[in-house]
């Protein structure tokens, strides 16, 4: 079935293929690293899904992709498919927004997949498909933006799917809508702006209600991490705290390499584009009055970068939940279309190229760090295997976490966001430590606990630069990654 609204956006097949091709090149470092990332351990061993987090559609999708009743790994095809989904989504988005019109290479279409925060999503072998698709399904409804009934139906379905795939992506629906709303404000279409704002909010609420009803009918609960602070007595304090954490993560990304300079360069031309709008509207009262509202919409989009994290009671503030980062940058690039003069247009486009090129460098470093961390972790397991394979062993204690690979120190100093993106499964607080250590099922009958009650207990049986092994009794070992000095 052909969709005429989509066909009009896909007339330049060569441009689309270039976007998809560059997107595939971008993920090569992750593909070659072949890194087992956190939840991947458990899903590889037991094939479970995500329904316990309210992501029942992600579970169904996993089974569908596996052609099985359990969730099986289809890596590397999962990463390649996710890449194509994100490349296609970015291309459709910038085409709808009218960014880089008549350009064969649309660099801005790559801003979604190359957003630094999304490295933490692409590295998942199982999760990358539902996470990528959760963004696509909230973008595609906007191809029907000018056909109200189609838009409402498609939007309710899209947001519903997104919530069931990966909840953090759902608020991107507002960010995409803001591109259309900003355009209406700039054009002085106040009536359309208010009507469409109401429709966007209404369909989102309708989809959310449908999603919560579906959870109840299926007997599922959203994760306890979805609890909101709205009803808490200290709401203002919690909002201030969450805002601080949000800005800390933004700062972490900006301090990585020269990212802050490239982002600032891009935003500079966005500001110049907005100034151009104001200058051209000096005799247009409607445009001038709309300016504060445009700035408000942009500000709201900035805080939507992390989805609903600002309103969550408990949040780990992982960068993988910052799904809106690439979309916020696209919104900034949208204003560059209002620049006057070929030189400014070329320089502003060059600012986008720099952002994309930087992300390629970042991904290359990320892939290298993943590879070296795997080697370091495997070396640790090989060193400690004589202790872990002891048949008398019944309990293993963990204090602290296995450090980053020494060969990664320089990369981490240059790109501190890797501290958030690369998390070791061998840790006192990790739920996957047993799966990571359980080579050849040697720990099947061994319990692993993370606790500080064992600090300085027992006899030191091995001491390394990175950890100390203590024997508490014949059946209990403790790994102290903090290397606590004991008298």
3-state secondary structure 279-310: HHCCCCHHHHHHHHHHHHHHHHHHHHHHCCHH
Q: Angle of helix 285-303 relative to helix 172-186, nearest 10 degrees? A: 170
Q: 226: pLDDT confidence band, cut at 50, 70 and 90?
A: low
Q: Could you give the percent of the chain with pLDDT greater than 70?
A: 97
Is the entire prediction scored with pTM above 0.85?
yes
338 pLDDT band, cuts 50/70/90, is confident
Element (H or E) spanning 461, and its range? Answer: strand 459-463
- Please check the confidence at residue 482 and state whether its pLDDT lies above 80: yes
| pLDDT at residue 222, rounded to an integer | 67
**Does residue 114 carry a pLDDT above 70?**
yes
The pLDDT mean for the chain works out to 90
Q: What is the pLDDT of residues 383-435, one digit of tens each?
A: 999 888 888 899 998 999 999 999 999 999 999 999 999 888 899 888 888 88
260-307 pLDDT, tens digit each: 999 999 999 999 988 888 777 666 666 677 888 999 999 999 999 988
Asked if the model's pLDDT at residue 181 lies above 90, the reply is yes
pLDDT at 15: 95
Between 112-116, 305-309, 376-380, the lowest mean confidence (pLDDT) is in 305-309
Query: How does pLDDT run across 182-217, given as a tens digit for each residue?
Result: 999 988 888 999 999 999 999 999 999 999 999 999
Q: Identify the pLDDT of residue 253.
A: 95
**For helices 148-165 and 172-186, what crossing angle results, to 10°?**
150
* Residue 87: HSE in the Cβ half-sphere, 13 Å Cα cutoff: 21
């Amino acid at each position: 079935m052909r969709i005429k609204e989509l066909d009009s956006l896909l007339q330049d097949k060569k441009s689309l293929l270039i976007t998809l091709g560059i997107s595939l090149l971008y993920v090569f470092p992750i593909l070659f690293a072949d890194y087992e990332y956190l939840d991947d351990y458990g899903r590889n061993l037991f094939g479970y899904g995500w329904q316990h987090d309210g992501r029942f559609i992600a579970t169904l999708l996993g089974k569908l992709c596996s052609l099985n009743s359990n969730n099986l790994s289809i890596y590397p095809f999962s990463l390649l498919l996710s890449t194509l989904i994100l490349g296609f989504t970015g291309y459709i988005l910038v085409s709808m927004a009218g960014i880089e019109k008549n350009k064969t290479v649309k660099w801005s279409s790559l801003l979604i997949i190359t957003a630094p925060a999304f490295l933490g999503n692409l590295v998942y072998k199982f999760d990358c498909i539902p996470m990528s698709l959760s963004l696509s399904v909230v973008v595609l409804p906007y191809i029907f933006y000018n056909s109200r009934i189609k838009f409402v139906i498609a939007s309710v379905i899209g947001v519903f799917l997104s919530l069931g795939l990966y909840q953090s992506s759902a608020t991107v629906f507002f960010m995409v809508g803001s591109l259309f709303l900003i355009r209406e404000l700039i054009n002085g279409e106040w009536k359309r702006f208010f009507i469409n704002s109401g429709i966007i909010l209404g369909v989102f609420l309708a989809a959310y209600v449908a999603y919560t009803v579906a959870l109840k009918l299926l007997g599922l609960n959203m994760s306890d991490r979805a609890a909101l602070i709205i009803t808490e007595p200290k709401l203002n304090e919690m909002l201030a705290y969450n805002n601080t954490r949000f800005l800390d993560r933004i700062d972490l990304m900006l301090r990585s390499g020269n990212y802050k300079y490239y982002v600032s360069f891009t935003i500079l031309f966005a500001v110049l584009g907005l100034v151009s709008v104001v200058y051209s509207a000096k005799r247009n009262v409607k445009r001038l009055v709309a300016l504060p509202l445009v700035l408000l919409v942009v500000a709201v989009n900035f805080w939507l970068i992390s989805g609903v994290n600002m309103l969550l009671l408990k949040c780990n503030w992982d960068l993988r939940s910052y799904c809106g980062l690439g979309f916020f940058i696209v919104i900034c690039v949208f204003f560059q279309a209002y620049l006057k003069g070929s030189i400014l247009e070329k320089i502003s486009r060059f600012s986008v190229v720099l952002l994309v090129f930087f992300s390629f460098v970042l991904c290359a470093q990320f892939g290298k760090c993943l590879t070296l961390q795997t080697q370091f972790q495997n070396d640790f397991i090989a060193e400690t295997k004589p202790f872990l394979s002891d048949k008398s062993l019944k309990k293993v204690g963990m204090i602290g976490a296995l450090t980053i690979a020494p060969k990664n120190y320089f990369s981490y100093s240059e790109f501190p966001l890797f501290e958030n993106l690369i998390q070791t499964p061998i840790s006192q607080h990790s739920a996957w430590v047993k799966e990571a250590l359980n080579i050849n099922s040697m720990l099947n009958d061994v319990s692993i606990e993370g606790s500080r009650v064992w600090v300085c207990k027992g006899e030191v049986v091995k001491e390394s630069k990175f950890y100390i092994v203590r024997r508490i009794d014949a059946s209990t070992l403790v790994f102290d990654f903090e290397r606590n000095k004991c008298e």
